Structure 1
Amino acid sequence: MKRLLVILMVAMMLAFAVMAQASDDSWNKVKDSGKLAIGLDDAFPPMGFRLDDGKLVGFDIDAAEEVGKRLGVKIVWQPTAWDGVIHSLNSNKFDCIWNGMTITAERQAKVLFSKPYIMDGQIAVVAMGNKDVKSSKELGGKIVGVQKGSPALEAAKSLKPAPVEIREYDTNPKAFLDLEAGRISAVVVDNIAGRYYMSTRPGKYMGLPGFISSEPFGIAFRMNDKSLEEKVQSVIDAMVADGTMGKISRKWFGEDITNPAKW
């Protein structure tokens, strides 16, 4: 009897899974409406932010608009409070979240993520032309700068061998100015923020290879919207392969940080 009950339960679970998959018309709904609504925090440079004239710009904006163009749908941006963005997604206020969202186990229990399209995390930056430090493992005995209260502080503390001093700054730009002046050997900083800042001052800094800590960015969809996720993912894969994602990345970060082969 117990064996029969187990078989019946497994059969029911498989039937429900098949029914759920069959009823997934998420891509067809977007295609038929001609619109893909995306939730975001529109004050998150360089991923998505407003210029003084109110125009929405950023890496995610450019990438998503190109995806919309290739899918033949219009991208509709829906600014929303970040602390409630997943709830808003699951309440059908938009179709996905595309805004530099870190993939975490907690979030994976609530949403369906695409593959990572950017690898974020903490990196070490040195002055351009530095010949003394070629990797983060060579920061032992050096003075390293970080932004006060940021995740970079813990990343710098994890360095082995340890820096002789971790100097804290109110802002990253202040740390970078000290780096440029030679008062510190490196700045540990968020990859996205650091590379965006470096792109505004070309020829002044260079990121050391690899990550001190890794935080992948993904696009979040509702759990049952697999067909929509697969459609968007296929376009992103094509954009990586044909160099379009790299081109957008170089515009915002000064280099290609979208190619998984380089992570």
Structure 2
Amino acid sequence: MNKKFKTGLLLAVLALVFAVTGCGSQEKAAPKVLKVGTDAAFAPFEFQDESTKEYVGFDIDLAKALGKQMGYEVQIQNMNFDGIIPGIESGNIDIAATGMTITAERSQKVNFSKPYYKSGLAVVVKADNATIKGFGDLEGKKIAVQIGTTGASEAKKIKNAQVREFNSSAEAFMELKAGGADAVVNDLPVNEYYIVKTGAKDAKIVGDVVSAEEYGIAIGKKNTELTEKINKALDELKKNGEYEKLYLKWFGKKPPQA
């Protein structure tokens, strides 16, 4: 074996080593993926933009901000609300950002982050309805709700109420508009957004807000490490002003002081 051949062979081996090392570096640099489940029919928290067909909303922006803070690539998966917790339990999604109220029953199945939004339930009726003035007037009435929500649970407690469950809040409002329901029971910010979108012509909110609620990011019960990461990232977003920026964008006001 002559000297030139040895040198050429050495260079070829070195090139192969660098190529393999380079591939390994690229694999290590691949971003971690965070699969986020949401029911994109709950504006202004999550919905599909009619023009771009992209999923948008406060929860969508918050999930992306949390992912960026933690160094994750966020993938949004749209699904029915009542299938989200099973999706977390099966591992099909990592977390849920979907206006989910923290409850004792849900906490038996999933972990929740620190609360990120305070809400409550409100009643929506047609603009010309003068008989229903709040929750106290819903006895025996036809009530439209979104399946699996706390609004649905609360409506079912009302004496003799005929509760109809729909896959989305939009469908519940359509039922009200069509005259198939006397009222819709849903989260206050969702109701407010609907009123704004309709220009307050078709419907109105009546009565007091009841059942104070807090939303949380839902995470797998055993995934305590991810729960800690999300809580830390949420704290950081509140400190650096990003959370307030998103809140202003979607609700037109600053978040309430803790």
Change (3 A) 1:96 1:215: same
| Structure 2 residue 186 is matched with structure 1 residue 192 | no
Q: How does 1:157-168 map to 2 (within 5 A)?
A: none
| Cα distance per residue 1:117-137 (max 9 Å; x no partner) | 101113699xxxxxxxxxxxx
SS at match of 1:99: coil
SS at match of 1:100: coil
Q: What is the aligned partner in structure 2 of residue 46 from structure 1?
A: 44
Change (3 A) 1:118 1:260: farther
CA RMSD of aligned residues (A): 4.0
Output the CA distance in 1 between the equivalents of 2:39 and 2:73.
19
Output the CA distance in 1 between the equivalents of 2:257 and 2:92.
31
TM superposition shift of 1:104: 1.2
Unaligned runs of 5+ in 1: 1-30, 126-141, 158-169, 176-187
TM-score, normalised with respect to structure 2: 0.59
1:144 pairs with one of 112, 133, 152: 133
Output the CA distance in 2 between the equivalents of 1:32 and 1:217.
32
User: What is the total number of aligned residue pairs between the two structures?
Assistant: 192
Change (3 A) 1:86 1:123: closer
Unaligned runs of 5+ in 2: 1-28, 125-130, 145-150, 159-171, 178-184, 200-204
Q: How does 1:67-146 map to 2 (within 5 A)?
A: 67-122=66-121, 144=133
TM superposition shift of 1:143: 7.8
- Which amino acid letter does the alignment assign opposite residue 230 of structure 2? V
More deviation in 106-115 or 46-55?
Answer: 46-55
Q: What is the aligned partner in structure 1 of residue 169 from structure 2?
A: none
Output the CA distance in 2 between the equivalents of 1:79 and 1:189.
20
Q: What is the aligned partner in structure 1 of residue 4 from structure 2?
A: none
Change (3 A) 1:106 1:143: closer
Output the CA distance in 2 between the equivalents of 1:171 and 1:83.
19
Output the CA distance in 2 between the equivalents of 1:195 and 1:241.
28
Q: What is the aligned partner in structure 2 of residue 252 from structure 1?
A: 250
TM superposition shift of 1:91: 0.9
| Cα distance per residue 1:21-65 (max 9 Å; x no partner) | xxxxxxxxxx97511111111222111111123111111111111
Conserved 8 A contact 1:59-1:248: yes
Output the CA distance in 1 between the equivalents of 2:173 and 2:188.
15
SS at match of 1:65: helix
TM-score, normalised with respect to structure 1: 0.58
Q: What is the aligned partner in structure 1 of residue 228 from structure 2?
A: 230
Q: How does 1:208-227 map to 2 (within 5 A)?
A: 211-227=209-225
Change (3 A) 1:226 1:255: same
- Which amino acid letter does the alignment assign opposite residue 144 of structure 1? K
Output the CA distance in 1 between the equivalents of 2:114 and 2:222.
16
TM superposition shift of 1:198: 6.2
- Which amino acid letter does the alignment assign opposite residue 102 of structure 2? I
Identity, % of aligned positions:
35
Output the CA distance in 1 between the equivalents of 2:133 and 2:40.
32
TM superposition shift of 1:116: 1.1
Change (3 A) 1:244 1:195: farther
Which protein is bigger by CA-based radius of gyration? 2
| Structure 2 residue 235 is matched with structure 1 residue 241 | no
Conserved 8 A contact 2:42-2:190: no
